[in-house]
Homo-oligomer: A and B are copies of this chain.
Amino acid sequence: MRAQTSKRTDARRNRGLILEAAKAAFGRDGVHASLDEIARSAGVGPATLYRHFPTREHLLCEVLHERQAVLLALRDEALALPDAKSALYGWMTALGDYLGAFNGLPQPFIDAFEAQASPLAVTCRTLVAITDEFLARAKADGAARQSVCAPALFLSALGAAFVHDKAGRYGTTPEQVEAIQAFGYLTGHPAVDTSHSIRKTGAFHD
């Protein structure tokens, strides 16, 4: 959250140049864009980049801040919807768009999930928390299944984002994938949602 509060003007300037170059590179080449190349196109040495952003995740995190503002605006928009189901669906759509900002973005999020040291981890937790808000409201309204939990739903969003833009290549559409995420591929409900026979691993195992 801290802004470019550095003492020297050249440092602030370079920081901005690097962020600009990184935004372009991540957008063009995905999250695995070469950091040396980013430094080069920003007109700074590699060491300067690493001094400002110790890891790729730090850089990525800062570049994402702009997109996060959009995401939070969409959250507010969705929160204002009277229908809990539409609100949750709207949030999940916005989340999907956010996670599709750069090619390969779900991967660092997954990694951050396990390494809480990553600067993305806090973002991760925030997104799960917001998801939980929408989910709780939808559950209370009967709009979401009772057995869904926020972390799993967030993971599901990561998985969907992972495959989202590849749908066109194989005779299907992103909307189809989203529909499976939202409504499943099977008909009916899992056993745990109907309070009948709560066996260990769901209805159809063995």
Contact flag A163-B172 (CB < 8 Å), given A144-B185, A181-B185: no
Q: Of A142, A148, A177, A179, which is in contact with the most chain B CB atoms at under 10 Å from its CB?
A: A179
Q: Are B145 and A155 in contact (CB under 8 A)?
A: no
A176 CA to B193 CA, complexed, in Å: 12
Residue positions of A touching B, CB distance < 8 A:
85-86, 88-90, 92-93, 106, 110, 113-114, 128, 135, 138, 142-145, 147-149, 151-156, 158-160, 162-163, 166-167, 169-173, 175-190, 192-193, 201-202, 204-205
Q: Are A152 and B176 in contact (CB under 8 A)?
A: yes
The residues of B that contact A189 with a CB separation of less than 8 Å are 183
Q: Are A169 and B204 in contact (CB under 8 A)?
A: no
Q: How far is the CB of A193 from chain B (nearest CB, A)?
A: 8
Can you tell how many copies of this chain the complex includes? 2
Q: How far is the CB of A181 from chain B (nearest CB, A)?
A: 7
Q: Are B149 and A158 in contact (CB under 8 A)?
A: no
Selected from B90, B93, B143, B156, the residue in CB contact (under 8 A) with A163 is: B156
Q: How far is the CB of A159 from chain B (nearest CB, A)?
A: 3
Given pairs A110-B162, A144-B186, A156-B181, 7 additional interface contacts (CB within 8 A): A114-B169, A147-B179, A148-B185, A156-B185, A159-B177, A181-B185, A183-B184
Q: Are B145 and A184 in contact (CB under 8 A)?
A: yes
Contact flag A106-B162 (CB < 8 Å), given A144-B187, A179-B147, A184-B181: yes
